[in-house]
Chains A and B, each alone.
Chain A
Amino acid sequence: MKEYIKLTIDGVEVTAEKGQTVLEAARQNSIDIPTLCHDERVAPYGACGLCVVEAEGNPKLLRSCATKAADGMKITTNSERIHRARKFALQMLLSDHTGDCKAPCSLACPAGTDCQGYVGLIANGENAEATRVIKSKIPMPASIGRVCPHPCETACRRQMVEEPIAIAALKAYAADKDLAADEQYTPEVLAPTGKSVAVIGGGPGGLSAAYYLALKGHSVTVYDMMPKMGGMLRYGIPQYRLPKEVLDKEIALIERTGVKLQNNIKIGTDITLDELRASNDAVVVAVGAWVSSKMRVKGEDLDGVYGGIDFLRSVILGKAPKIGEKVAVCGGGNTAMDACRTAVRLGAKEVYIIYRRTRDEMPADELEIDEAEEEGVIFKFLTNPDEILSKDGKVCGIRLQVMELGEPDASGRRKPVPVDGKFENIELDSVIMAIGQKSNLEGLEALELTSWGTISADEATFRTNLDGVFAVGDATNKGADIAISAIGEAQKSANVIDSYLNGCTVGYKKPILVERKITAEDLKDKKRIPREKVRVLSPEDRKHNFSEVAFRLTDEQAKAEASRCLECGCLDYYRCKLIKYSNEYDADFSKFIGEKSVANKDTEHPYIMRDSGKCILCGLCVRVCSEVMNVTAIGLAGRGFTTVVSPEFYQTLNDSKCISCGQCVTLCPTGALIEKVPFKKDVPLEEKSVKTHCTGCANACKLTAFSVGSTLTRTEPVAGGILCTEGRLGFAVINNPEKISNAVINGELVSVDDAANKTAQTIKSYTSDEVAVTVCDNLTDEALAAAKKLADTIGTSTFITLGNPKKCIADKDVAEFERVFGDKFNIGINSQKSKDLGAIPAESTDLSKIKAVISFGSVKPEFEDIEFIAVQGLTADIKADIIFPLVSSFETDGTFGGEIKISKAVKSSSLSNEDIIDRIINYLK
């Protein structure tokens, strides 16, 4: 008879069983109390200090994991003191945590794109999944992959070995694959919310905001003054860098999410901000910066002087101005490069870049400078326009003031200073001023501006001074920046606007993350692998036309390039409880930075990796290993700050008594203990999960199967449960690259049909009584029934069950495994289901007449002098004439033991087991 008590938690009276802890009572009543060191499988420990609560009348903070609930108790779980204590514990843990939550590439990306994620997926051949990952942050990756100055690569640690990963090219590669596929990736759009949003400006910022708002179910219309969408991507970037056909395709995909696009509409002229505000629930201003900045040089207004972006836009619109044969472009950024290379393509014979510093200080992308040089552009470094010279009101030349580099300025670059009285003249037909750009804010006068004349938008909420009006991109705050910055702001603003539309504005908050400082010294043992070179058109082949200069990486190149990734980011990022709670409690640890414990990695174990730098000494691994498993492979060693979790005598885990049950990994709240992911490239990703059963043996343990794309990444026992090595860690065989998806006849890959036919013919060469059919316990009911049907069709009564597949225990001592698992698993029981179907155990079968066997499931019988007609197997290296592919329980739906439902976790690469058997039956008929 259970006894119940009543207590009050956070002012609510709840009922709990007598003997329950406060934590259990709270959880049972849906009150969440955080903890990093408690699990129901083990005894309370009280190390992390997160589960603290207050009890009325007790001056101390109580650890709820260990405090028994008592009748009449009054518990508070969320006071300021509790919050402070929890936050402090998290701050302390983070201050002693060594690792990189996210890779530097991802942190450097203004849009927070998971570069390591998609690079890793490309390395593993999961291109579709890679596109999904990219598109969660960038709606037009094929375009951005081509034009982005890639801050990700600037931050890439691989350059400390030799060169950074070609992240941008890989992005373009994956996105182009998707565009070329039969079906393009289209994300799920949530149900309509009934709210509408107007976006002013159809550039990368506006389109991104529209895309992510549309995905949330809002009705979005984009208004743009130009004839087509794309903004600067279309009108500021030359065709040879970004073919507009690519942009068109990506915009079409954005439209698929339900975004409405309206071109040739100028704000203030065709429609007013007030009208948009009145007819929508929110307005996003993303008008960009479309006005070329002036240099205030004499002669700037002459005929033959053009603004950089004005010039590029005219060319793209097919209205290229007559620039003549001699052209000077003033400026050192990417727009200047685009302008000079466009001038070359328009037929100019002499094209100059006028830049007041030297090549080293040029802000333009290195590759752009190189390619411009290859195309014959003449660089006039350390010169500054003094006056644009004219003849008959038209440009005829330029007078340049010669400069030299002086002291470094605030940006750290050496400041150019004029050399007194030193000038140089060049004869010219036209001048292009590519020195910067600003916004035209006509029609947006109601918006408050910054002192730089840009729209003032809150950095966390993107709010302007007008309610419901948000602003992002080049027109805001610090002004013009690269496209990916606008996309990043837009994507973040979409979440904020969504929250605004839901009635409670939640601003963007930079996540709390742990980072590591790495030097070339740390990477000195890495093998040098040169960066894959993207093939480009030769200067001669490209300088007279607007064909795209760069080709895409080939499949082989992409895999090889992606495989160079150093895998900086933590594999546990999406599961880590420490970082989850740290963000919930806003545990900024910067003021407590101090010495960290020594970080050691142990990767020798076949299934488990240990990283002591990420260990928070919660003791869960140690306790589950001793209290639950009774193994004690690991323990605590050392004292105080230098305490570590370690196998005895500081051995590796592989040399310890570990039996590979994986319990420690299941319970580890951080990335200190993780499974070896069955990927060629380890990559931290958000996984999909399915609740199903392990069919490794007749025990059919409940488990959760996790997958990424078509790869089964790991399994976990259901809450509080346990799996054996096979179920927990030994499933990796299904990801075996050698795994066959077609049949094999005498070592040759053939279709399942051919093999089924051959099998049927061979069966027919025997009499019914001479053939036996065997099954084993890892088959589903459907496959068992099909096998029984096959036996009946053949007409044999020798239908044998071989029972359980032999346990895989990773080269560990079988006796030790059975000692630990023996009472937890019924090792060796036969499936009742196959017996119900009439199967007989092998040992009680009369085999005297049998001449040939056909065998299904992962157990192959050991019969002497009997021919195997066909067997199922994972790989082709099984001794048999005919091998059929074997489909594991993770790849199929069905039932098991008559009652248990199995759910597919990943797509099977071959026909199901029962389908294969049915084919044989068909050929027998």
Chain B
Amino acid sequence: MYNIKVGEGSCGISAGAAKIYSLLEKSNTDNIFGLSVTGCIGMCFLEPIVDIYNNDELCARLVQVKESDVEYILQFIATGDESAIKNLKISDDDSEFLSKQTRIALRNCGIIDPEDINDYISHGGYSALSKVIESLTPEQVIDEIKISGLAGRGGAGFPTWFKWNAARQSDGEEKYLICNADEGDPGAFMDRAVIESDPHALIEGMLIGAYAIGAKEAVVYVRAEYPLAIARLEKAIEQAKEKGYVGNNILGSDFSCSFRIKAGAGAFVCGEETALIESLEGQRGMPRLKPPFPAQSGYWGKPSNINNVETFANVTWIISNGGEAFAALGTEDSKGTKVFALTGKIRRGGLVEIPMGKTLNDVIFDIGDGMRTERAFKGVQLGGPSGGCIPANLADTQVDYKKLSATGAIMGSGGMVVMDESTCMVGMAKFFLDFTTKESCGKCVPCRIGTRRLLEILDRICKGEGKEGDIELLEELCIQIKDGSLCGLGQTAPNPVLTTLKYFRDEYEAHIKEKRCPAGECIDLISYNVLPEKCIGCLMCQKKCPVGAISGKVKEVQTIDHDKCIKCGRCKDVCRFGAVEIR
């Protein structure tokens, strides 16, 4: 019997997967095929994706499926004739997107039904928890994690075992295990995908963590903007309770752990662990001073451990496969795999999990297939607003905590925004500063006011109002903000500016001294012009111009009235002869 799995992560649903599912469902009143949902397989550029299994074996992966394609799928199911779905099948090239990855954290994503605990169990789920409860002491669990070399995947890369051990060693009966699912970096969606696609992997990882540190309560702090993730997680917790994995005397042991979800109100700073704790306690999300660290005094002043989603997703695998298996992957300093959310000017965007030690080029060109257009690769922003920009000539850098940090960027939680020549680096820094300025909690002075001053300077540079000395002023601000800010948000906020200044200083200088934006993106510094030798006078640009700035007779060269032009770029987009140029 054929089993059809429709990819219904948020990405799939927004691309139309739910409609396809319901069409398939309506046509299956007689249960002639199996139909279920699955999570996100990670190939965002190909959504909606429909996988057809022959019993348990994947026999066809259909991509960019439209509602009108459902009849071909039904045809195939009825006849077994592959020619019906030939045009829908993923290309061999695109298949490489997955085949070149190594999946640990994402191992079940897009494969199992996230709303069915039995599916998870049939893929080996909860066996690690059983193993822990039945045969390992908390210390042995921590040892296993230590052997694996797992480091915090939220961005800082702090050894997980060390935090667990500190929380375990802290005095007190009452301890808390918290999962940070407040994924706030623009362009990052790894955690969302894990919760939506494999929520039990998170629950099981957390239960193992709770067992290790001695916590009786586990809390998942997830942003309210992830409604699907919350719904699936809620359902998963309910199912786990029913099965006896969550609650009192788990699996008949004396280990008890309750679970709950706290929906955050969408403040970026609440991804900072102490601000997250404040928010959990019902306070305004503002970071606390460290020390004391959460492992000593965290949630309600009790020893608490906080890890992010991806970290927990790795834990289950490590217990099942052994710490050494995990440590066998990666480099000297960075073990295991890392998930990236690949976005930007890339051809194949989506979720990518690779072993540490692969290079950025591997991700961008091998897996991501390079740039979407003819334009050359310029650089990549890692780690979102806290991260930095790595230029094309350093893209052979290995994915490794230390090596990435050496460039001025950070590993970060996994946001990877690829930029081509048309991206203005000053504008890019400005974009991230605009974000951090708005997301600063307002508590400490360097972050609250310093980032604002940074943004103001970047803004005036982009407008062509930059002054001699502005670069030095930016540098001074950056250094002081990094040095004086209270939490990670402020301490890392200058990174986009510092790295672009380091690698693209000439762009800043062009803006300030020549009032020119080399990437042609800063609208105050550019003008659209018609190239007479290329213009054939088709009037397409004239028709599309929203402000009537283009004039000229048919079959004659057109002219753009710069006083009227609002620099929207429509003329350039619609010209099929490359006759519109940015100067």
A interface vs B, CB < 8 Å? 44-49, 52, 61, 63, 66-68, 81, 84-85, 88-89, 92-93, 95-96, 591-592, 594-595, 616-617, 619, 635-636, 638-643
Contact = CB atoms under 8 A, between A and B. Distances in A.
B484 A617 contact: no
A641 B436 CA distance: 10
Nearest to A36: B445
Interface in B414-464: 437-446, 448-453, 456
Contact of A45 (B289, B441, B442): B289
Contacts of B480: 84-85, 88
Contacts of A95: 449, 453
A617 B449 CA distance: 11
Contacts of A45: 289, 443
Given A49-B446, A595-B456, A635-B284, A640 B484 contact: no
Nearest to B485: A49
B483 A85 contact: yes
A857 B284 CA distance: 48
Contact of A640 (B448, B473, B477, B486): B448
Contact of B442 (A63, A92, A641): A641
* CB-CB nearest 6 A-B residue pairs: A643-B442, A640-B440, A92-B449, A88-B480, A66-B289, A46-B289
B267 interface: yes
A642 B451 CA distance: 12
Given A85-B483, A641-B448, A641-B449, A617 B443 contact: yes
A617 B453 CA distance: 17
Contacts of B442: 617, 636, 638-643
Determine which residue in B440, B443, B485 has the highest number of CB atoms from chain A within 10 A of its CB, and name it.
B443
Nearest to A636: B284
Interface string B476-520: 010010011110000000000000000000000000000000000
A89 B289 contact: no
Given A46-B444, A640-B441, 8 more contacts: A45-B289, A46-B486, A48-B445, A49-B484, A617-B442, A639-B441, A640-B437, A640-B439
Contact of B446 (A63, A89, A595): A89
A644 to B, nearest CB: 9
A63 B448 contact: no
Given A81-B483, A640-B448, A641-B437, A92 B443 contact: no
A812 to B, nearest CB: 26
15 contacts: A46-B444, A46-B486, A47-B445, A49-B486, A66-B289, A68-B291, A88-B484, A89-B446, A89-B484, A92-B445, A617-B442, A619-B443, A639-B438, A639-B439, A641-B437
Contacts of B440: 639-641
Given A84-B480, A595-B456, A640 B445 contact: no
A47 B439 contact: no
A93 B437 contact: no
A47 B486 contact: yes
B452 A641 contact: yes
A85 B446 CA distance: 9
A633 B486 CA distance: 26
Q: Is the interface of B mostly helix, strand, loop or mixed?
A: helix
Contacts of A61: 483-484
Interface centre among B437, B446, B448, B485 (most CB of A within 10 A): B448
B452 A89 contact: no
Interface of B: 267, 284, 286, 289, 291, 437-446, 448-453, 456, 473, 477, 480, 483-486
Nearest to A88: B480
Contacts of B443: 45-47, 617, 619, 643
Contacts of A67: 291
A93 B284 contact: no
Given A619-B443, A639-B440, A96 B486 contact: no
Contacts of A592: 453, 473, 477
B467 to A, nearest CB: 10
A92 B450 contact: yes
Contacts of B449: 92-93, 95-96, 641
A44 B297 CA distance: 15
Contacts of B437: 640-641
Nearest to B487: A46
A47 B441 CA distance: 11
A93 B448 CA distance: 10
A77 to B, nearest CB: 16
B456 A594 contact: yes
Contacts of B451: 640-641
Contacts of B456: 594-595
B483 A47 contact: no
Nearest to B288: A46
Given A52-B484, A85-B484, A594-B456, A63 B284 contact: no
Given A85-B480, A617-B443, A591 B473 contact: yes
A640 B284 contact: no
A871 B451 CA distance: 64
Contacts of A46: 289, 443-444, 486
B445 A89 contact: yes
A92 B284 contact: no
A93 B445 contact: yes
B267 A639 contact: yes
A47 B445 CA distance: 6
A591 B452 CA distance: 14
Contacts of A96: 449, 452
Contact of B444 (A49, A66, A68): A49
Contacts of B291: 66-68
Contacts of A639: 267, 438-442
A594 B484 contact: no
A88 B446 contact: yes
Nearest to B490: A49
A595 B439 CA distance: 18
Contacts of B445: 47-49, 89, 92-93, 616
Contacts of A47: 443-445, 486
Contacts of B486: 46-47, 49, 63
A45 B486 CA distance: 10
B439 A594 contact: no
Nearest to B438: A640
A138 to B, nearest CB: 39
Nearest to A592: B453
Contacts of A93: 445, 449
A242 B307 CA distance: 82
Contacts of A616: 445
A892 B484 CA distance: 50
Contacts of A636: 284, 286, 442
Nearest to A594: B456
Given A638-B442, A640-B437, A641-B442, A594 B267 contact: no
A640 B473 CA distance: 21
A94 B414 CA distance: 38
A595 B483 contact: no
A873 to B, nearest CB: 48
A642 to B, nearest CB: 8
A640 B485 CA distance: 13
A640 B286 CA distance: 11
B456 to A, nearest CB: 5
Nearest to B290: A66
Q: Which of A66, A591, A619, A639: most chain B CB closer than 10 A?
A: A639
Contacts of B477: 592
Nearest to B267: A639
B386 to A, nearest CB: 15
A877 B495 CA distance: 70
Contacts of A85: 480, 483-484
Contacts of B485: 49
B446 A594 contact: no
B299 to A, nearest CB: 17
A476 B120 CA distance: 91
A24 to B, nearest CB: 15
A579 to B, nearest CB: 16
A617 B448 contact: yes
